[in-house]
Structure 1
Amino acid sequence: MTTNISECINAVMKGCRNLPIMALVKSIYFRLGELFARKGSEALAQLQVGAKFSQALMKAIEFNSKHINTMNVYQFDRSRTNFTIKELAAVPGSKQQNYQVLLDEDKCDCGYFQALHIPCHHMLAACSHARLDWKRFVHPVYRMESVFNVYKSEFRPIGHEDD
């Protein structure tokens, strides 16, 4: 998480190094203003076409869905919330063969879901087996309304210094 934040800050600061403080602040302000305008327009366009979730989430779900056919799912309760997933083939990034998925506690042994709040391939396999909709396990931050609300704020132009 720290690495991602520092990379974001470095991206904003690129080309601003060794500037006087006032010039540095103005540069960051204008870059953020442009970023919010661009991202806000993209989010609005996604909302207008009826997208429910962010594109980043949908790409992650598509990637994670590729491997659910290579898993055996064992259900351990009548309420369809406790599963053991056995991987039959090696899945990139996996360290072990068996994972416990607890849907009612939003947990998977792989840790992916707890870290990113995006259903991992084990959770998707459990949802598919139990005929549950994976969308109910997605954190609200990935909904397009939430993304749009982040970029809803607008930056005001900075007037002349003498005003």
Structure 2
Amino acid sequence: MTTNISECINAVMKCSHNLPITALVKSSYFRLDELFARKGSEALAQLQVGAEFSQTLMKAIEFNSKHMNTMNVYQFDRSRTNFTFEELVAVPGSRQQNYQVLLDERKCDCGYFQALHIPCRHVLAACFHARLDWKRFVHPVYRLESVFNVYRSEFRPIGHEDD
């Protein structure tokens, strides 16, 4: 995590080496302004075409759904919230072959569902099996309205130092 943070800071400070503090702050401010304007425009464009989630999330869902047909699903309750999965084909990165999903508790043994708050392949398979909408198991922060609200704020131009 420390490496990721330092890489992010290095990316923000790129082209700002050896600048005085005032110029460094000003450079960072303008770069963030540019980022917010660009990301806000992208989110607005996706909202205007009717997208509910970001393209990145939809790619992750598509990737996770590719493995749904490689497992047996066992439903353990009438309320359609408790499932066990037996994977028939080894999936790269998997530690085990049997997983339990508790939809009402938003838990899966793989840990992906709890960590990222988006449906893993097991949750997608459970939703498909129980005829539930997987979208209700996506955290609201991934909705485009939430993303757009982050970038809704606008930066004010920096006035002259004498003002």
Question: For residue 105 of structure 2, what is the aligned residue in structure 1?
Answer: 105
Matches of 1:79 and 1:47, distance apart in 2? 34
Question: For residue 80 of structure 2, what is the aligned residue in structure 1?
Answer: 80
Instruction: Please state how far the C-alpha of 1:135 moved relative to its aligned partner.
Output: 0.2
Identity rate, percent: 88
Report the TM-score when normalising by structure 2.
0.96
Q: How does 1:1-163 map to 2 (within 5 A)?
A: 1-163=1-163
The AA in structure 2 aligned to 1:17 is: H
Matches of 2:8 and 2:65, distance apart in 1? 29
The AA in structure 2 aligned to 1:37 is: A
Report the TM-score when normalising by structure 1.
0.96
Provide closer, same or farther for how the CA distance between residues 3 and 117 of structure 1 changes in structure 2, counting only shifts above 3 A: farther
Matches of 2:54 and 2:2, distance apart in 1? 22
Instruction: Please state how far the C-alpha of 1:18 moved relative to its aligned partner.
Output: 2.4
Instruction: Please state how far the C-alpha of 1:3 moved relative to its aligned partner.
Output: 4.2
Q: Which runs of 4+ in 1 moved over 6 A?
A: none
Matches of 1:115 and 1:6, distance apart in 2? 22
Instruction: Please state how far the C-alpha of 1:12 moved relative to its aligned partner.
Output: 0.8
Matches of 1:9 and 1:71, distance apart in 2? 42
Matches of 1:55 and 1:76, distance apart in 2? 34
State how many pairs are aligned.
Answer: 163
The AA in structure 2 aligned to 1:11 is: A
Instruction: Please state how far the C-alpha of 1:11 moved relative to its aligned partner.
Output: 1.4
